């Protein structure tokens, strides 16, 4: 029996990939490829037809030995399985996976390579300007210039694409922009509402990785500035091992907000809140939580970045935070939240406009999947010609 040619995905974690990009598995199956995922076995979730090859990716550090082993592991798979398509997601996968692909090309492999850049990440953050961060950034940029040769690179914003092209990492002809990861709009719209219960406080949610860089410290500071009789501040997400994580004791013992822990049913949670906040300090692409929030009829509030600006029209479909210092941004967030708590008509209008925007401008999983299907076919045909 002839085996199907392979499509290899390489990502940071199994759980993150299967939760956010399982539609890509269906896409490669539709074009006759067998999907294989190489990723750290964190939060593993079964997806029909997807084979998982566990690897170790140390996301928060660079190590010559462990990173070289990662390149070698991916290279061995490329030479053994000869995938027709390789799709690399997140910084270490597309840096080291891209290097493995370049070496494999020298050894006769001829598959298509796609990078997906979900956002510029912490290495390009506004406050990452010390000498060590600058050196790391220069090394990464040089590595990416080599890794991305002949690859097709997808971005979530034109800003991120333009930065990569200005740094000469990739040529503009080899890039495209997609509307985020895509979500199942029906899951969120089924519970959508635009009414406000006058007999309870406004419910404001932070639901992301529990990191200072994501703006959780701003959210917690803002929680100390509001009266819980007017505004209920909620935090959702698992406590994780990250150098930038907010201390677990702060989350579990502080009384200005309610910590919900990990929440698996996001449509249900979003149906119970009114506002979703992401005061991130680095460019995120188009944050998935904001798309989900808008689809569920919540008002999104986020730091002004190209990705959030693609989703939020300030004052129409949500609010953009313009302050950058922690305490100033916390006060700005407090003022916007209190405005929404007082003005029910404004909140309902914004929620309706936000939901309408995400449902009519290509943020669905089906729309994004179709974009990637066309991209995969073009990339494969280009390598075959």
Confidence of residue 168 (pLDDT cuts 50, 70, 90): very high
Q: Is residue 115 part of a domain?
A: yes
Residue 174 C-alpha from the chain's centroid: 21
Query: Is residue 165 located within the same domain as residue 246?
Result: no
Query: Is residue 124 located within the same domain as residue 189?
Result: no
Query: Is residue 109 located within the same domain as residue 66?
Result: yes
Query: Is residue 61 located within the same domain as residue 168?
Result: yes
How are strands ordered across the β-sheet holding 231-236?
258-261, 231-236, 202-207, 275-278, 299-303, 319-321
pLDDT, position 375: 94
**CATH code for position 238:** 3.40.50.2000
pTM for the model: 0.85
The closest alpha carbon to 324, from 233, 223, 215, 207, belongs to 215
Complete DSSP assignment for 24-71: HHHHHHHTT-EEEEEEE-SS----TT-EEEE----TT---HHHHHHHH
In tens, the pLDDT along 10-49 reads 999 898 898 888 899 999 999 999 999 999 987 667 778 8
Q: Please enumerate in sequence order all residues whose Cβ is within 8 A of that of 335, keeping only pairs 6 or more positions apart, or say none.
A: none
Q: Is residue 189 part of a domain?
A: yes
In tens, the pLDDT along 150-161 reads 899 999 888 889
Query: Is residue 143 located within the same domain as residue 29?
Result: yes
The closest alpha carbon to 322, from 302, 347, 338, belongs to 302
Of residues 295 and 249, more confidently modeled: 295
Domain of 222 in residue numbering reads as 185-360
Q: How far apart are CA 313 and CA 317, in angstroms?
A: 5
Both tokens assigned to 25: 């598995």
Q: Which of 7-11, 204-208, 259-263 has the lowest mean pLDDT?
A: 259-263
Number of domains into which the chain is organized: 2
Of residues 314 and 384, more confidently modeled: 314
Per cent of the chain over pLDDT 70 is 92
pLDDT, position 7: 96
User: Looking at residues 270-293, what average pLDDT do you find?
Assistant: 90
Q: Is residue 13 part of a domain?
A: yes
Q: Quick check: 128 pLDDT over 60? A: no
pLDDT, position 1: 45
Query: Is residue 198 located within the same domain as residue 266?
Result: yes
Query: Is residue 106 located within the same domain as residue 151?
Result: yes
Query: Is residue 205 located within the same domain as residue 298?
Result: yes
Of residues 292 and 244, more confidently modeled: 292
pLDDT, position 181: 84
Beta-strand ranges (E) seen in 212-306 are 231-236, 258-261, 275-278, 299-303
Q: Is residue 1 part of a domain?
A: no
pLDDT, position 197: 63
Query: Is residue 277 located within the same domain as residue 368?
Result: no
Q: Which of 112-116, 335-339, 381-385 has the lowest mean pLDDT?
A: 381-385
Query: Is residue 200 located within the same domain as residue 309?
Result: yes
Query: Is residue 79 located within the same domain as residue 112?
Result: yes
pLDDT, position 123: 59
Q: Quick check: 144 pLDDT over 70? A: yes
Q: How far apart are CA 217 and CA 210, in angstroms?
A: 9
Q: Quick check: 370 pLDDT over 70? A: yes
pLDDT, position 122: 58
In tens, the pLDDT along 193-216 reads 656 666 789 999 999 889 888 999
Query: Is residue 30 located within the same domain as residue 139?
Result: yes
In tens, the pLDDT along 61-113 reads 667 788 899 999 999 999 999 999 999 998 889 999 999 999 999 999 999 99
Residue 305, H or E segment: none
């Amino acid at each position: 029996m002839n085996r199907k040619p392979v499509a290899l995905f390489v990502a940071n974690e199994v759980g993150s990939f299967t939760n956010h990009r399982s539609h890509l598995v269906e896409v490669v199956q539709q074009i006759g490829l067998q999907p294989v995922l190489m990723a750290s076995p964190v939060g593993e979730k079964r997806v029909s037809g997807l084979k998982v090859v566990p690897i170790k990716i140390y996301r928060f550090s660079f190590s010559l030995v462990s990173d070289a082993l990662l390149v070698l592991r991916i290279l061995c798979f490329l030479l053994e399985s000869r995938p027709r398509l390789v799709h690399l997601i997140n910084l270490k996968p597309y840096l080291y996976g891209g290097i493995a692909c370049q070496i494999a090309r020298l050894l006769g492999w001829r598959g298509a390579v796609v990078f997906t850049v979900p956002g510029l990440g912490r290495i390009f953050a506004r406050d990452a300007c010390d000498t060590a961060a600058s050196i790391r950034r220069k090394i990464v940029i040089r590595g990416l210039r080599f890794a991305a040769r002949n690859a097709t690179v997808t971005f979530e914003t034109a800003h991120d694409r333009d930065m990569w092209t200005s740094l000469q990492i990739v040529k503009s002809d080899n890039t495209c922009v997609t509307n985020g990861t895509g979500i199942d709009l029906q899951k969120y719209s089924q519970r959508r509402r635009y009414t406000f219960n006058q007999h309870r406080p406004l419910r404001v949610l932070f639901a992301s990785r529990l990191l200072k860089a994501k703006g959780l410290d701003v959210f917690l500071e803002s929680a100390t500035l509001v009266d819980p009789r007017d505004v209920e501040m909620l935090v959702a997400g698992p406590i994780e091992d990250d150098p930038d994580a907010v201390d677990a004791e702060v989350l579990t013992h502080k009384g200005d907000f309610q910590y919900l822990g990990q929440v698996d049913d996001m449509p249900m949670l979003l149906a119970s809140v009114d506002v979703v906040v992401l005061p991130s300090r680095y460019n995120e692409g188009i944050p998935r939580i904001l798309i989900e929030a808008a689809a569920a009829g919540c008002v999104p509030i986020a730091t002004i970045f190209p990705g959030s600006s693609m989703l939020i029209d300030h004052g129409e479909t949500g609010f953009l935070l313009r302050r950058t210092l922690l305490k100033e941004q916390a006060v700005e967030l407090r003022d916007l939240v209190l405005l929404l708590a007082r003005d029910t008509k404004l909140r309902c209008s914004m929620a309706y406009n936000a939901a309408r925007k995400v449902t009519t401008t290509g943020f669905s999983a089906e729309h994004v999947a179709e974009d990637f299907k066309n991209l995969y076919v073009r990339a494969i045909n280009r390598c075959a010609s």
